[in-house]
Structure 1
Amino acid sequence: MGFFVLLAVEAGAISSELAEATGEGGFGLNFNLLETNLINLAIVIGLLVYLGRKFLGGILADRTSTIEAAIRAAEERRKDAAAALAEEQQKLAQAQAEAERIRASAEEAAKAAREAILAQAERDVQRVRETAVQDINTEQERAILELRRRVAALALQRVESQLAGNLNESAQQRLIDRSIATLGGR
């Protein structure tokens, strides 16, 4: 505290000298050592250095230790962050490998499903073809039977009409006898 009082007294003396110098009509240099207070300034500066060294040294030492602790903490955080980054990169690589495996599995499943669908579609087409062929064959047989029935009916009608016109009593008797002989001859 005394140091600052001494400093204030010196500053007041310097400012009063400056005021006197400007009041006399100008500014000049005074080379008289006792009047310019150079000795007093040297003593004040010496005291500042001597007393300030302990004060500033303690502050600087505290500040230095605080900075060193902050640097050590930052270095620890950097190491922790690097370890966390490496761990997360490893997790990312695992996740990417898993995603690739899932994608490959999905592609295989899609390919197998596509092949199964195509095979089932081929079987369905074949079954439809076979059913269509069977339906066509059934309809064809039915049409043929119907045609045969109609042809037989028409043939009978024609034979009956021809027989009725061409067949007399003696021709009917010969036909019957021939039919009996054929049946009896077996």
Structure 2
Amino acid sequence: MKFNATLLKDYTIIPFKGIYLKYAKNKEDVATNIYPVPNLANPFLGVHFTKTVDGSIKIGPTAIPAFWRENYSGFKNFNLFEVLQVLYHESRLFIYNAFNFRDLAFQEMKKYRKNNFIGLSAYMVKALDQGGFGDFLKPGIRAQLMNKRTMELLQDFVIEGDRNSLHVLNAVSPAFTCSIAFARFVVDQIMEKRKAS
């Protein structure tokens, strides 16, 4: 028995590049993770402070539109098919300005300017030395789920499947993904689909 793939036809993945900036002055100016109040209209959390395992401080990430799935730096791992596919979906978002995508894209692109990026975090920690930041760190890619029909960047899990297989889409939160409560929820969904068939 095979999974009915037509259940997933409304979705695609849009890559976004997340860049962090290291605070090089010291490890003491920030004692814990600090998050801004989230904008519920935006699927991204915004620039925040993170304490790393070794006690270092970094700000980020960005959510800059990427043009292929492994668009980490330059043209390394360039994939023309993915570029065309991503540009098609991003241009639709841009033209129709779905969930204010134009402003979001322009705001994120400005974060390539170091001073702008630092300024977005500075209001959360007033005593921070804005000249104490070092270099940009290695970026990551966020696989953001988009509903092609509604042109919405989804902010929550999507569970699709049938009695043969169940798929968790848009697992953007590692902490929630590995939680026992979420595991129970997924198992309950599997059991319901088995009973219904």
* Higher RCO (C-alpha 8 Å, min separation 6): 2
Using the size of structure 2 for normalisation, the TM-score is 0.15
Using the size of structure 1 for normalisation, the TM-score is 0.15
More strand by share: 2
- Indicate the structure (1 or 2) with the bigger Cα radius of gyration: 1
